[in-house]
């Protein structure tokens, strides 16, 4: 006679357990992926970072030609900030003082890793290639780097990782002493001065600084293009704070439309693009480039909004090899090219591939 009551209690208990399980599952999902806002709107301000380098020409052109400002419209103020290397820009992004930034591939990965995959998303490419190891002419083989000092822009930046990985692959120990290679992190303008003074033997540098050292007498020991299939690797990409992307997708699309206009301008008007880029660099650094340096620098790179997402697992592995990070970064969820593909398709361009990195791990 107690069977019906027992069955009712069992049914209630199972329903309660199912509800608990469902709640727990929802909680885990919320922890792994920040909830998107229920409503979105254009931002009142976009704080954009970039470098005064040739490798950031699309950003420099986009600002100088007002492509970003025009696409953002009168309701969104564009505020810009320049940096010398990626790690400083990462700090600004993670600290919330920057919304989006043109940045090197290694610092972009680092920003994602430091925030446990939460703070930033890779939304577009910008520049491919344009980085070289340039040295004094007496250095013609890797072994001749022993006892020498080689510069990179900043510890953990894209060129710093590339150099340290290459040294390890060539069985060259990093450190001080006659049988080791000293790697010093030096601002690019200072590297040029020290090279001229004979205090550093070269540097793994982005454009225009590799070309400036060549102009000062250096020769190319390694062109990074030679280390990648088809010579393509992401030198500069565009990342955005995840929260900003979720709350202001309209603003992100406007930023990307401006970038596509800048890239198209650079491709269609190379001479004018060089002049605008050079004028922008002079305005920021009080130093302009000679025409031979400018011509060489532009010839070493290409501009494209494709982030070359398939290269990032290798870049993450390189960061470990170089000692910049202790373990490889899980890049699942790092890439979000939804807005980019919307903009590219509207411009008659083919969509880009996220290489599976748009999926949450």
Q: Per-residue pLDDT tens for 229-254?
A: 999 999 999 999 999 999 999 999 99
pLDDT band at 156 (very low <50, low <70, confident <90, very high): confident
Q: Where is average pLDDT lowest: 82-86, 161-165, 261-265?
A: 82-86
Instruction: Give the span between the Cα atoms of 86 and 100, in whole angstroms.
Output: 13
Which residues lie closer than 8 Å to 119 by C-beta, 6 or more apart?
93, 94, 111, 112, 241, 242
pLDDT band at 361 (very low <50, low <70, confident <90, very high): low
pLDDT at 35: 55
pLDDT band at 223 (very low <50, low <70, confident <90, very high): very high
H-run or E-run covering 270: helix 270-285
Give the three-class secondary structure for 263. helix
Share of the chain above pLDDT 90, in %: 83
Instruction: Give the span between the Cα atoms of 46 and 59, in whole angstroms.
Output: 14
Supply φ then ψ for residue 322, to 5 degrees.
-80, -10
Q: What is the pLDDT of residues 55-67, one digit of tens each?
A: 999 999 999 999 9
pLDDT at 308: 98
Name beta bridge partners: 311: none
Torsional sign, CA 133, 139, 144, 150:
negative
pLDDT at 324: 84
Instruction: Give the span between the Cα atoms of 95 and 342, in whole angstroms.
Output: 29
Give the pairing of strands 234-241 and 100-103: antiparallel
Instruction: Give the span between the Cα atoms of 182 and 325, in whole angstroms.
Output: 19
pLDDT at 102: 98
H-run or E-run covering 166: helix 158-169
Q: What is the pLDDT of residues 240-295, one digit of tens each?
A: 999 999 999 999 999 999 999 999 999 999 999 999 999 999 999 999 999 999 99
Assess whether pLDDT exceeds 70 at residue 151: yes
Assess whether pLDDT exceeds 60 at residue 8: no
Share of the chain above pLDDT 70, in %: 89
pLDDT band at 22 (very low <50, low <70, confident <90, very high): very low
Q: What letters, b where the CB count within 10 A reaches 16 and e where it falls short, cover 253-281?
A: bbbbbbbbbbbbbbeeeeeebbebbbebb
Instruction: Give the span between the Cα atoms of 139 and 147, in whole angstroms.
Output: 11
Q: Where does 45-129+233-346 sit in CATH, by number?
A: 3.40.190.10
pLDDT band at 36 (very low <50, low <70, confident <90, very high): low
CATH 3.40.190.10 range(s) for the chain read: 45-129+233-346, 131-230
pLDDT at 37: 62
For the chain, give the mean pLDDT: 90
pLDDT band at 15 (very low <50, low <70, confident <90, very high): very low
pLDDT at 360: 80
Assess whether pLDDT exceeds 90 at residue 173: yes
Instruction: Give the span between the Cα atoms of 176 and 123, in whole angstroms.
Output: 40
How large is the average pLDDT for residues 130-151?
Answer: 98
| CATH class label, 131-230 | alpha beta
How large is the average pLDDT for residues 27-38?
Answer: 45
pLDDT band at 225 (very low <50, low <70, confident <90, very high): very high
pTM across the whole model: 0.86
How large is the average pLDDT for residues 330-343?
Answer: 98
CB-based contact 340:153 (threshold 8 Å): no
């Amino acid at each position: 006679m107690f069977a019906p009551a027992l069955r009712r209690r069992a049914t209630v208990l199972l329903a309660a357990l199912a509800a608990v399980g469902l709640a727990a599952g929802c909680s885990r999902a919320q922890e792994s992926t920040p909830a998107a806002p229920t409503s979105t709107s254009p931002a009142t301000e976009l704080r954009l970072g970039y470098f005064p380098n040739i490798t950031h020409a699309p950003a420099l052109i986009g600002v100088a030609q007002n492509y970003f400002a025009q696409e953002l419209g009168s309701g969104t103020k564009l505020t810009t900030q320049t940096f010398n290397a990626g790690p400083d820009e990462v700090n600004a992004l993670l600290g919330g003082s920057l919304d989006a930034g043109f940045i090197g591939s290694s610092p972009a990965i680092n920003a994602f890793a430091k925030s446990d995959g939460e703070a930033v998303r890779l939304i577009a490419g910008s520049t491919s290639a344009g980085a070289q190891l340039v040295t004094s002419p007496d250095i013609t083989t890797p072994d001749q780097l022993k006892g020498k000092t080689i510069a990179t822009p900043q510890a953990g930046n894209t060129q710093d990782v590339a150099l340290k990985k290459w040294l390890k692959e060539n069985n060259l120990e990093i450190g001080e002493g006659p049988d080791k290679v000293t790697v010093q992190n030096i601002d690019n303008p200072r590297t040029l001065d020290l090279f001229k003074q004979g205090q550093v033997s070269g540097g793994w540098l982005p454009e225009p600084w590799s070309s400036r050292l060549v102009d000062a007498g250096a020769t190319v020991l390694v062109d990074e293009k030679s280390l990648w299939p088809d010579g393509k690797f992401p030198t500069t990409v565009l990342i955005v704070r995840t929260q900003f992307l979720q709350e202001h997708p309209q603003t992100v699309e406007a930023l990307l439309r401006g970038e596509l206009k800048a890239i198209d301008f650079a491709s269609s008007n190379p001479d004018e693009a060089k002049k605008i880029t050079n004028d922008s660099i002079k305005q920021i650094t009080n130093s302009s480039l000679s025409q031979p340096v400018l011509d060489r620098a532009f010839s070493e790179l290409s501009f494209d909004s494709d982030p070359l997402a398939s290269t990032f697992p290798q870049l993450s592995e390189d960061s470990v090899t170089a000692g910049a990070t202790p373990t490889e970064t899980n890049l699942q969820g790092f890439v979000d090219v939804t807005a980019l593909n919307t903009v590219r398709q509207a411009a008659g361009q083919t969509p880009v591939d996220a290489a599976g990195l748009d999926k949450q791990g």
